[in-house]
Amino acid sequence: MTLPFIQVLNEKEQDKKKKKGGNEIKRPCPPYSLWCKDQWNEVKKENPDAEFKDISHILGTAMELLEQYLQFKQEADQGENKKNKTKKEKDPLKPKQPVSAFFLFSNERRAALLAENKNVLEVAKIAGEEWKNMTEKQKGPYEKIAKKNKEKYTQEMEAYKQNKDEEAMNLKKEEEELMKFQKQEALQLLKKKEKTENIIKKTKEQRQKKQQQNVDPNKPKKPASSFLLFSKETRQSLVHENPGINSSTLTAMISVKWKELNQEEKQIWNCKAAEAMGAYKKELEEYNKSVAAAT
């Protein structure tokens, strides 16, 4: 317990040396060292005959008791402490760690000392001194209770960990079952999709076959549009310029080139399509006449 206070004095000596040098910037004291400096003179006034190690022990005991008290208060006021927002929420089912024998004694004495209008520092000092002067026999009941609480805590922690392991295992099983179900559902949807595609493909083939059977081979074929005429000619040049090009890329390039044509260039292809359509109408008219005559 005396080590922090020795560190405070060492820091004072280092500060004196730095002041002599004149160039070093004084390092700020940590909060714990500042607290020790503030309380040191007060404890020395109340205990003028106390030696260095005695004052160190009193302050160390006070600090330990204060930290334990703050921890106890924090656990009692669950959810109200919002100083550390990034800290994970505590599991309310997790067993609370038992306090030490000294804290059991100081907690018992705190009520009586506070009733005498003692402050926290005085309570810590008195409780620390009383505990220090107690015999092993006097400390025995508190150590017995602390030991019993620790054994109970150990058992509760084992049960808690076992429950956590079981929960984790059950959660893993649920995730595996869900994944298995999703895979089965995906396979069923895939099978339905393949079945639907096969039905559509088969229906389309039957329709085309029926149309081919009903179509008269002598009937004139409808001519291509201006875009199809342009596409047929452009396709040949693009394939020659880009050997190995795939069909989708080729179609996309043809569409781009068609959009890039101006009105005059498109009019050339429109005229070719119109000439072909005119010839088609004449042939279709002659064909219809021949069919009517044969009927």
Which residue's entry shows tokens 């050997």? 243
Q: Is the pLDDT of residue 164 over 50?
A: yes
Q: What is the amino acid identity at position 78?
A: Q
Q: Is the pLDDT of residue 228 over 50?
A: yes
And the tokens for 118? 């003692």
Distance CA 275, CA 196 (A): 43
Give the residue with greater pLDDT, 204 vs 153.
153
| Mean of the per-residue pLDDT values of the chain | 78
Report pLDDT for 88. 57
pLDDT, tens digit, 9 for 90 and up, residues 110-136: 888 888 888 888 888 888 888 888 888
Distance CA 17, CA 206 (A): 103
Q: Is the pLDDT of residue 70 over 70?
A: no
Report, as an integer, the average pLDDT of 15-37.
58
And the tokens for 252? 């996309």
Q: Is the pLDDT of residue 266 over 50?
A: yes
Regarding pTM above 0.75, the answer is: no
User: 6 pLDDT band (50/70/90 cuts)?
Assistant: very low
Distance (Å) of CA 4 to CA 37, 100, 167: 11, 22, 44
Ramachandran category for residue 78: left, alpha or beta (phi over 0 → left; psi -120 to 50 → alpha): beta
Q: Is the pLDDT of residue 210 over 70?
A: yes
For residue 288, the tally of other CB atoms under 10 A from its CB is 12
Q: What is the amino acid identity at position 155?
A: Q
Q: Is the pLDDT of residue 5 over 50?
A: no
State the DSSP code for 253. H
Report pLDDT for 142. 87
User: 96 pLDDT band (50/70/90 cuts)?
Assistant: confident
User: 33 pLDDT band (50/70/90 cuts)?
Assistant: low
